[in-house]
Chains A and B, each alone.
Chain A
Amino acid sequence: MLPAFGFALEAPWWVEVVVKSLVLLFIVVTTFAYSMLAERKILGWMQLRPGPNRVGPWGLLQPAADAAKMLLKEDLTPQTADTFIYRLAPFISLIAAMGVYAVIPFSESGNGLWSIGDVNAGILFVFALTSIGVYGISLAGWSSGSKYPLLGSVRSTAQMISYELAMTMSVVGVLILAGTTSLAGIVHAQNRLWFVIPQLGGFAIYLITAVAETNRTPFDLVEAETELVGGFHTEYSGLRFGLFFIAEYLNMITVSCIATLLFLGGWNAPFGLTVIPGIVWFVLKAGLFIFAYIWLRATLPRLRYDRLMAFGWKILLPAATLNLMLTAAVVAVTG
């Protein structure tokens, strides 16, 4: 009997999993919609604009209007495109982005974890799936049969490989401290001290590489509107473009959730404020990261491509390795 979201269900395991997945899907897609609105609002405010405010009060129905627009737009396929792969690519991206939520624990209550499945190699599962998401981007660019998307997909492949290394390295420090790869186990290991304090370097590296992994400014060379006209999704329109869009935002939310779980103690309440339930803390902490990403986008311009590569290989990777070696040494000495 798997524990449900705070209450136990008496049903066959697969019914339970399907119900939980549907609920989670709904929550995640709503979060996507409103984090997109939040991004547009906050970007607007930071650029001294009011942001979207015409659809509904304070523009709160904007996501619905956007969704309707996406659904009604024409779905174009270029003549030179490899049709099957071209149509498949957005789904690869989206499925990989959504699959991650199967293992993310959002909170814990008396009868168990608030997650669909508690995988004991959770963090590995997350990294494996997010890496598969790159296939969506690469294949989309390649199969479009057009020059800018191809450039975008080549960039994405190189960028993902470069930053995935540093990202994984920065996380290994946490794994050494926690002694487990289970996401819930990592959170439990932070009951007394959040890993952001002993792993400050790893935390910084994770944050930077996470921006690169999710293709967001200042590392958005994969889509670079100004040079690549949107990069890998130049040729996509309508719903298929929408799927890429959802996948990108879900990835941003995912890395925020992972950062919360690995470094900010997940649903653990700070300063003993256990009156407020864990899920609230989780949402607050993940929201903090999402805000940071939006803030980053409003502040920094895009990096030049060679600098992006140099930064990844010459600074982040050695720094992450150093951090890993230091952590390992300290743990080995202190036991």
Chain B
Amino acid sequence: MSPLRGFASALIALTGGFATTFGMLFKRKPTIEYPSVKKQHAPRFHGLHELRRYADGKERCIGCELCAIACPANAITVIGAENAPGDRRSPGERYAARYEIDELRCIFCGLCEEACPTDAIVLTPRFEMADYRRGSFVYAKDRLLVPPQAGVGTAPDERPNGIPADLGTVAEQKSTVDIATGYDATNRGHILKTERRGLAG
């Protein structure tokens, strides 16, 4: 290539480059201005966990510890206890006296959700868990359990053989409950205030 032609082609290439950057100046920016605008995640996004209840307010968790066994990150601790006959917390024999998930260990794989026989533990699309203390990332029942009015499905103790009839529907309920109506499941403001003073329990 002669020097003159080389110069001309370089000039054309340069013009193209400058035109490209100038054109970008007026394009719509794809940036989501995060704290003020939040992206709507897919309904089945694997985010923060929650413990579900039945429509009558009973806890779904029966303290079987299958989630803790399934968990590849050993993030879940379940300590079950017998239901007292007068004050039944769950429809089964046992309930989770303590249920803790260390969200710093959790890899959000959703195996706990799959292992759960009663659809009690579910991953929600919530993802903003930032905090100042490591201890604050251990979520206990006070932050995991949904409020009683947010329960879904019929408890199996209403049925003779105790087999839940609503398995497999939680995925849909996840989207409807969480995104369409929405509720304040984790009372975070209140809990933060109490927990900043000491480590989480």
Contact = CB atoms under 8 A, between A and B. Distances in A.
Contact of B24 (A45, A53, A300): A45
B46 to A, nearest CB: 28
Contacts of B17: 299-300
Contacts of A49: 29, 31
11 contacts: A45-B26, A46-B22, A48-B27, A50-B29, A50-B31, A50-B33, A53-B33, A295-B18, A295-B21, A299-B18, A299-B21
Contacts of A309: none
A47 interface: yes
Contacts of A298: 21
Interface string A43-70: 0011111100100000000000000000
Contact-size category for B:
10 to 19
B25 A42 contact: yes
Interface string B14-39: 10011011101111011101000000
Given A47-B24, A48-B31, A299-B18, 18 more contacts: A45-B25, A45-B26, A45-B29, A46-B21, A46-B22, A46-B25, A48-B24, A48-B27, A48-B30, A49-B29, A49-B31, A50-B29, A50-B31, A53-B33, A295-B22, A298-B21, A299-B17, A300-B14
A310 to B, nearest CB: 13
**Most-contacted residue by chain A among B21, B25, B29, B30 (CB, 10 A):** B21
A49 B27 CA distance: 10
Contacts of A47: 24
A157 B31 CA distance: 41
Contacts of B30: 48
9 closest A-B pairs by beta carbon, nearest first, are A299-B21, A46-B21, A298-B21, A46-B24, A45-B25, A299-B17, A50-B31, A50-B29, A299-B18
Interface in A287-306: 295, 298-300
Q: Which of the listed residues B17, B24, B27 has the most CB atoms from chain A within 10 Å of its own CB?
A: B24
B30 to A, nearest CB: 6
A48 B29 contact: yes
